[in-house]
Amino acid sequence: MGERPRFAIVASPGFIAAVLLLVANDHVLKARFPGIVTGKLSDVAGLFVVGALAVRFVPSRSTRALGGVGALFIFWKSPLSQPLIDAWNGVGPFTIVRVVDWTDLLALPVLPLALLYSRSAFSVVPARITQAAMLAVTALAIMATSKYPGGPPTWIFGDRPDKVARFDQHAKFTTPLNFIQTVQHLGQAG
């Protein structure tokens, strides 16, 4: 890796391309072309970006860092992270929504590619301002993934705090019942 600054990678063409792909996919492509490809593209680009940063942040323990990135990704994509998300949504300044989709784990093999790229003799776009700007854009790209269409899910609370039903306001269900009858039936079902 030579004598490069630790985060010089953020000014490399491969890293910049991955961040731009992540931003374009999350904020343009997913809305225009929803489907499996755009759904997985964000996971691949995001894991590459976070993996490359992890390797550069702790180069002496890069495989452990990538293992940590992979473990956190698996946790995030599992139902185990829901209590953490619910706690954040109860006090946080913005709402976090994520979909549990085990096929997202198919993106994990990009982590070794992030390791290889981070250890390669990647070129760097000259200019110190590029590094600072890319660090800022990267932070925003990682934290601001695609918006939930039309806002967060609608919440309907039951009569007990341990009974909460979540309804996605964009989901379409066909039923002969009206809204009040549906809620009553759901309440009776427990």
Residue 43 predicted with pLDDT over 50: yes
Average of per-residue pLDDT values in the chain: 79
What's the pLDDT band for 79 if we cut at 50, 70, 90? very high
Coil, strand, or helix at residue 24?
A: helix
Report which of residues 45 and 131 the model is more confident about: 45
Q: What is the mean pLDDT of residues 89-112?
A: 89
What's the pLDDT band for 170 if we cut at 50, 70, 90? very low
What's the pLDDT band for 155 if we cut at 50, 70, 90? very low
DSSP string, 98-138: ----GGGGGGTTHHHHHHHHHHS-----S-HHHHHHHHHHH
Residue 97 predicted with pLDDT over 60: yes
Q: Where are the domains of the chain?
A: 8-143, 154-189
**Neighbouring C-beta atoms of residue 55, cutoff 10 Å:** 24
Q: How far is CA 2 from CA 9, 105, 116, in A?
A: 12, 33, 15
What's the pLDDT band for 159 if we cut at 50, 70, 90? low
CA distance 117 to 8: 13
User: Closest Cα to residue 98, out of 88, 112, 108?
Assistant: 88
Report which of residues 33 and 146 the model is more confident about: 33
Residue 153 predicted with pLDDT over 60: no
Q: What is the pLDDT of residues 104-136, one digit of tens each?
A: 999 999 999 999 998 888 877 766 667 677 777
Q: Write down the pTM of the prediction.
A: 0.68
Residue 150 predicted with pLDDT over 80: no
